[in-house]
Amino acid sequence: MSSSGQRFAGRRALVTGASRGIGAAVAQRLAAEGAAVAITARTAEHHDTLSGSLRDTAARLEAFGVSVAPITADLTEPTDRAAIVPSAVSGLGGPVDILVNNAAAAIYQSVAAFPLKRRRLTFEVNVHAPLDLAQDVLPAMLERGEGWIVNVSSATARPWSPPFALGALGTTTGIYGASKAALNRVSNALAAELYGTGVRVNTIEPRAAVMSEGAEVLTGAALAPDQIESMEEMVEAVVALCDCPADRTGLSLVSLDLIEEMGLAVRGLDGEARAN
């Protein structure tokens, strides 16, 4: 396969939650543009109900002729998380330049009945894991004077106000949204601490739903076409932040808004221009 550009050639990326969905698509686009990519997921094999696997993603990336390091890890387990960055460095032959924290625990349930165990799991994956991985890649980034950390967030992070137009999923996204609000704030604080070092830290969320395999199961039937954006659009916004200037940091951005602001042409996951 070939790509119209190799802007990530010579860089090493780590993408979490890469067995399917946004994570797999971002990893593919980075590889298409020349990056060596480490990818993580809880298992290497197929999910019982969802298509796609870490093994499938690795095969797609390898077709671009780049180094690929598949890493199986359970992000709910601190010991598993601690092994991810060393495994990526070993597998890719050097330190991580780009970290994309995409993996998320999305458990939708009434807040009034949301059990403590599930709350802890949600925050473990959506807040603690991204920060742990950021802390693990930071020493090498700071030594080199540059790095890109992109945390995938969600519009559910924004609070409602009366008369509470809640949307199709209602309040069941409340705990998930609270974890993403925490991720936004932690990312902003980390960016402020690192300002001037050359390490950029941003969050990006879809403006509309991205129909990944998991989202299709959870929400597909409840959404109208104008409530959905393409996978390619979301990926375009993510990779823009994997190559952004040092002063674009500490931001919580929205995919389609960023594309419009920057005047980006949305390309395919192979990096090639899409036919109009």
pLDDT for 223: 54
φ, ψ of residue 34 to 5 degrees: the values are 100, -5
How many helices (H) and strands (E) in the chain?
9, 9
Radius of gyration of the chain (CA): 18
> Which of 249, 250, 254, 169 is closest to 205 using CA atoms?
254
- Element (DSSP H or E) covering residue 262: helix 255-262
Average pLDDT of 9-21? 97
Among all residues, which ones are annotated catalytic?
176
Residue 274, pLDDT > 80, answer: no
pLDDT of 209: 81
For 97-121, write each residue's pLDDT tens digit.
999 999 999 999 999 999 999 999 9
Helix axes 231-241, 21-32, angle to 10 degrees: 60
User: What pLDDT does residue 226 have?
Assistant: 60
d(C-alpha 136, C-alpha 82), whole Å? 8
CA distance 84 to 92: 12
What per-residue confidence (pLDDT) applies to 2?
A: 38
Closest CA to 75 of 140, 144, 35, 126: 126
Give residue-wise pLDDT tens across range 239-254: 999 999 999 999 999 9
How far apart CA 264 and CA 240 sit, in angstroms, is: 9
CATH number (3.80.10.10, 3.40.50.720, 3.40.50.2300, 3.30.9.10) of 12-262 reads 3.40.50.720
Whole-number Cα distances in Å, 32 to 7, 90, 236, 271: 10, 21, 13, 6
Can you point out the beta strands (E) in 42-168? 68-72, 98-101, 147-152
Residue 149 pLDDT class (50, 70, 90 cuts): very high
**pLDDT beyond 60 at 275:** no
At residue 222 the predicted structure's pLDDT band, cuts being 50, 70 and 90, is: low
Top pLDDT among 255 and 208 is at 255
- pLDDT for the residue 5: 78
Q: Which of 28-37, 68-77, 103-112, 218-227 shows the lowest mean pLDDT across its residues?
A: 218-227
Pairwise CA distance, residues 10 & 5, whole Å: 13
Give the residue-averaged pLDDT of 84-105: 98
- Measured distance CA(238)–CA(110) in Å, rounded: 30
Query: Given a cut of 70, is residue 46 above it in pLDDT?
Result: no
Q: To the nearest whole percent, how much of the chain has pLDDT over 70?
A: 89
